[in-house]
Amino acid sequence: MSSPERHRLFALGVGGLTLLVPGLLLLGHPFDEARHVLGTLTGWGLALAVIAPSYALMARCLRAEVESSHGQRFFKIWAGSTMGRMLAVIVGVVLFALCVEAPPLFSFLLAFFLGYTLLTGLEVLLLVGGTAGRRHA
């Protein structure tokens, strides 16, 4: 699968999941929170803000790894991406909890972790699945 095709599929997947998951959470609001809309949209937004740059960085990392056999470069980019994701998650959750008055934490955390899990799955499926065939061909 070519990079532009992979990027297009990622964008379509992100768009579809963004309509589906927060939409269902907003319609069903599984937790009885006064401001569940704020929690749901902010949680999903944080997941997008973490995963989208991670996808871009990992796509670049895998392209560099496939084009050259520079294992150290691959590891450095991968480790940096992982640490960046972790730091962004911690900062985002702490800021939401501290800066929002009476934060709707249950809807925020549910939307965030659903987004993080589903979007990471999409990222891995497209990036790792897209390069597996080329390595063994």
Selected residue with higher pLDDT from 56 and 14 = 14
Instruction: Find the mean pLDDT for residues 92-113.
Output: 94
Q: How many residues does the chain have?
A: 137
pTM (2 decimals)?
A: 0.84
Give 42's contacts (C-beta < 8 A, 6+ positions apart).
Answer: 96, 100, 108, 111
- Please check whether residue 123 is in contact with residue 58, taking contact to mean a CB–CB distance below 8 angstroms: yes
User: Quick one: pLDDT at residue 19?
Assistant: 96
Average pLDDT, whole number, for the chain?
A: 86
Residue pLDDT, tens place only, 25-79? 999 877 788 899 999 999 999 999 999 998 988 888 777 665 566 667 777 777 8
Q: Cα–Cα distance between 46 and 134 in angstroms, integer?
A: 33
Count CB atoms within 10 A of the CB of residue 63: 13
Hey, what are 124's tokens?
A: 């891995």
pLDDT at 15: 96
Residue 135 has pLDDT above 70, yes or no: no
